Structure 1
Amino acid sequence: MPMTSKRKIKLDQQSIVFVISLVIFCCFSIFLSNFFTVGNLVAMMRSISVLAILGLGMAIVVIGRGIDLSMVALMAVPSALVMTMVDSGDGLVFSIATGVLFAIIAGGISGLLVAYAEIPALFVTLAMGLALAGLGQVGILKADMVPWSDGMNPLRWIGGSSVLGIPSSILVAAFMFIAVGWFLKRTKIGRFIYSIGDNPSAARTTGISVRPIMVLQYVLSALIALLAGFVMAASNNLMDTRIYNLSLIYDVILVVVLGGIGLSGGRGGVWSVLVGTLLVGIVFNGMTIMNFPLDIQDLFKGIILLIAIAVDSFLNPRNEEAAQQGDI
């Protein structure tokens, strides 16, 4: 009698979110006349490219059992500082080096406070974001809206050009997906981040330098946020630093949690960020076409985020024995 086997199809959160994205995409394509057009699809991908890049930075931190609420401020202030310095006559290379150093110091301070002082990341990064916003408003920047000057044009390719009709911001986001995916899956430090997120006590027992790697997570998050700032500024010809007063940081968290990166750490990856970004981009592009007011869109985002966090808590229950004071 021939042996028969049944293949069981296991649907994880990434697969479910991807299927939901396809269904919504098909529905919008059928029922919204302006949705399935080349112009709208390219504009949608261009608009979510910065969100995707920020999501990748947030993913590195969340996989390692942290969170970074300062990412939007780290995107806006250092990039605006670079643009201000270039407009004032400082050299482009020196200005970029200053912006990079600024981001490294800010991310490093957050990481040190979380890893060594064991202050919860939620409070540390919230305070850092507020401090950066205040510093930008009263100290290092001349105005809230910093224009893209001619001296920045050597960086125009990063977000303000196109290749074969594809906006360069999309190409930069695609490159970052490849780079971050390689870092998390193919390098020792990337695998250590997963180990720390899964069980920091066990990771420490096996000889992993937990605290320095935790600091590195926040530094990488800050540098990725700075890159996102350059992409946004080049794309829009300015950096509106008031963006840290908007709900973008919640969009970043929404992308990460929706895609299946558990807030308890140790799970998910770049595919999680990709499917989460696609769902958010499709849904809110459709709502924009349907002329939903921004406050209704924010309400919808909040409801989705609450549901996603509840589902994450159910699917990825927190292991209190492995928890430590410096967690979220």
Structure 2
Amino acid sequence: MKKILLAVLTMALAMTMIAGCSKEEKKNNSETETENVEKSGMSVGMTVQDLSNQIWSSSCEALKGLVEADGGSMTYLDCGNNASKQIEQVENFISNDVDVIVIHPVDVNAVEQVLSDAREAGIKVYSWDENLENADIVWLIDNYELGKIIGEQAAKWINDVHDGVCEVAVLDYPQIPILLERGNGIVDALKENAPKATIVAKTSAINPTEGMTKMETIFQANPDVQVVACIGGGGAVGANEAIKAAGKLTDKIGVFAADATEQELEAIKNNEANRMSVLITGDGDAIAKEIYGWLEKLVAGESVEKEVYRTTFTVTTENIDEYYK
């Protein structure tokens, strides 16, 4: 009888151990499956020139949301317009073995070698705004022509509101070659379309802080400036704030730029100094959506055209309701 009881207990213990192992195995399998799901999306490293620029920061955050929604991971960094720092950031992305690098280059020549290293490591490279040799896709704007659009719109205001004669300030950013091209386009279009206007000041400003401080300085030397043409929305937002702070906001002063950031569109809607901005591709969400579509194709190994040109839309007081609700 004791032998029978011992056999029963032994069998019960064995069954319990088997069940426990089965549960543990299922738990481990479940954890592995969860880990695989979490790692099923792409890993992205992104470095941009300056996150104080609203269109760049909003695009980065929106892209991060899209990547993470598909189970991936993304890190985006501000290099502070410093090429050496940007190279270091790319090197870290390579060390972390990301699937794709998105770069808004500060200095094209400076980053070519490190991006070549990235591609040799099997990492895809997406270049925002610069036609890099070591990139799988270059997402481009004809920056000289974009500058001409800004200059033409500013000239139209000069001719319509000031009978072709007024003082003009240009906020450019020649430190970056593509923005140098854009600034040249602005100046050439102003000279061609409003030849009697006078450019009395030309200085660099890429974010709202620089735009405001530079505009304040311009007003000290040239209090009669009535038109400000800017290479981007950051400087334009700052210029608008400086104009309001100086008590110079009238129906004759105008700021013209590109990017069509939310702050610019709000100012246009409210009839402030911002009168026109060129929307490039769309807002941050639209930009992120387009970039993510290309990244999916790159990571999947699909064949893509290297050069992709962006679309532009001119936003003014006449059509602001289409772009800002």
Shared fold (TM-score greater than 0.5)? no
Structure 1 length-normalised TM: 0.28
Structure with greater helix share of residues: 1
Structure having the higher Rg: 2
Higher relative contact order (CA 8 A, sep 6+): 1
